[in-house]
Chain A
């Protein structure tokens, strides 16, 4: 069966510090991968998606970046965090071979102070 992991689960970082959030998927190959941010329990904002290793599409301009160094690894980064980067970050995967469902990870709660 497939599983998706995110870490860390929670993170408190000062403004201006760097960020690295990691997401890994097990039990599937060549998935589409997605990063979302959710503020205060509201709707999810799509940040990045990837259809393959090294292929990243950005949905919104911001000080965040994403990378996919391996097939089932998706990393969200920032060189200098802003207060507005606080939120709940969710990673998701989708089977490119069939089905329309996205499967979400447990999320990372980021607080920038």
Chain B
């Protein structure tokens, strides 16, 4: 099982600022997913990226998959307090459709 490293682990910013979180692996993966989790709840899927160099946008969130498919980033523009939560990247395996998660980035957006 290949590890996914997320950085930073914690991020505290003011409302309106921009931020980027990263997800890196030493191995190539076929597809990667980003989830967001609020305290006391299960994670919810934000996006799946499958093609090297792919960029997907979800309102103020921009997801990028590295050309070599070993890394991914999530950029949030003009963060809002509602963006607060734990952001998790996960590698999808064909075997059983299982997910292996990174350790997450805990984002706090202050008003």
Contact = CB atoms under 8 A, between A and B. Distances in A.
Interface stretch (A41-49, A63-71, A76-84): A41-49
Contacts of A104: 41-44
A87 interface: no
B96 A57 contact: yes
Q: Is the interface of A mostly helix, strand, loop or mixed?
A: strand
A103 B99 CA distance: 12
B73 interface: no
B82 interface: no
Interface of B: 1, 6, 31, 33, 39-45, 48, 86, 88, 90, 92, 96-104, 106
Interface of A: 32, 34, 36, 41-46, 49, 51, 57, 59, 90, 92, 94, 96, 100-107, 109
